[in-house]
Amino acid sequence: MDISRKLRSFVVLAGILGLALPASAQFATAWVVPAAAHTPGVGSTYWMTDLSIHNPQFDPLPVRIFFLPTGQDNSTAPEMDLEIEPWETYNLWDVLGEYGFDAEGTGAFLIVTDSSRIHCDSEDDCSFFVTSRTYTPDPGSAAGEYGQGIPGFTAAEGLDVASYAFALGILNDGDTFRTNVGAASWTPAWTTVGYDVQDAQGNVVDSVEFDVPPFGHVQHRLAEPVMGGTVVFYIVDGPDNALVFPYASVVSQETGDPTFMQARAVPLWFGKSAAGVGRPAEDPTARPLPRCSHTVLPPARAAEAGRPLPGTPVD
C-alpha cells in the first residue's frame, strides 16, 4: 500500500473512531494566507505568490478565494471560484499574475468552502488544506529563485480579543537584517492592532499601534533595532468578533532572502486556570465574508499549465 492510500485509510479511521489529530494536522473549511505579492521589491527583485489547495475528500469540493489588497477596505473584494476534484492539489502559480487575479501589489487571501454549492453533514466533510510560497527570481543570476513559505492559518490560529500572539527570533539591526511586520484581518470592521517589541531579555523597547481596514491587510517595516527578540501582538480596539492574523518576516540585507515568522496566538490568561477564558468556540462558516466585487475566472489546472520557470520575465 502506498503512502497516499495509507494516509487516506488513517484519515477515514480517525473519523470513524473519533481520534483527535493535532491542530497543525487538522483540515479546515476556512483559511487565511496572511501575505501575498505580485510586485517589484528591493534590489531588482520581483515577488510572486503560488497558492496550493488540497482536497482530501472523496467528492469534489467547491471553494471561494477572496483577494484582500493591502491598505484598503475590502468589504467588497475580487473572488475566484474553484471546484477541486477528490484528492487533487490545485496549484495557482503566480496567483496574482495575469492568469489569476491580475492584480499588481500585495495583500492576503481568505479561502473558504462554498457552502452555497455543497451540503456537508459536518465541518470535516467540507474541509481542505492550504499553503503558499512567495518568491522572486534571483536578480543576481540567470536562473534560480528564493523566497519563503507562508502557510495557511485556520480561524482557531488567529488573534482575537482574548489572545496574545508571539513572533520569536526577530532580527532587525538594519545592517545584516531587517524585519517587516503585518496582519491580515477576517473582520468586517476597522480593527486596531498593537504590538510590543521585546529584546532578548524581555524588556519592552517599543510599542506600536496600527489600524487594519475591514477584511484588510497592512504591512510595514519594524522601526526599533532588536536582535533575537520577540514581537507580541494584541488587539487594542475593534468589534467583539475581531480576528486578525499577524506575522513577521525577517529579511537578509545582503541577499534579500526572507524567512516567515508565524505569530502564534495564546489566551490572555495562559498559564492560569480560569474557567471560560480562552478562544471562543466559533464555527468559521458562520463568520462574515466580503461581498464579491467581481468574479475572476480560474486558470487552467497544473496539468494543462505548468509552473513558470525561475527567471521567467514578468510582463
Categorize the per-residue pLDDT at 45 as very low, low, confident or very high, splitting at 50, 70 and 90.
confident
Closest CA to 35 of 156, 150, 129: 150
Q: What is the pLDDT, as a whole number, of residue 302?
A: 52
pLDDT higher at 1 or 130: 130
Is 28:155 a contact under the CB 8 Å cutoff? yes
- How confident is the model over 50-79, as pLDDT tens digits? 999 999 999 999 999 999 999 999 999 999
Domain 23-268 sits in CATH 2.60.290.11: yes
Strands 46-54 vs 89-92: parallel, antiparallel or unpaired? antiparallel
Q: What is the pLDDT, as a whole number, of residue 289?
A: 87
Categorize the per-residue pLDDT at 172 as very low, low, confident or very high, splitting at 50, 70 and 90.
very high
- How confident is the model over 150-163, as pLDDT tens digits? 999 999 999 999 99
Mean pLDDT, residues 204-212: 96
- How confident is the model over 2-42, as pLDDT tens digits? 434 443 443 444 444 444 444 444 789 999 999 999 999 88
pLDDT over threshold 50, residue 303 = no
pLDDT higher at 143 or 2: 143
Strands (E), the chain: 30-40, 46-54, 61-69, 76-84, 89-92, 105-113, 129-137, 145-151, 163-172, 177-185, 191-198, 204-212, 217-221, 226-237, 244-252, 258-262, 264-267, 291-296
Q: What is the pLDDT, as a whole number, of residue 171?
A: 97
- How confident is the model over 258-296, as pLDDT tens digits? 999 999 999 876 543 333 334 444 677 678 889 887 888
To which residue does cell 468589534 refer?
Answer: 239
DSSP 126-171: G-BEEEEEEEEE-TTSSS-EEEEEEE-B-GGGSB-TTEEEEEEEEE
pLDDT higher at 54 or 256: 54
The whole-model pTM stands at 0.85
Strands (E), 152-240: 163-172, 177-185, 191-198, 204-212, 217-221, 226-237
Mean pLDDT, residues 206-220: 97
Residue-averaged pLDDT of the chain: 85
27 grid coordinates: 483540515
Q: What is the pLDDT, as a whole number, of residue 306?
A: 53
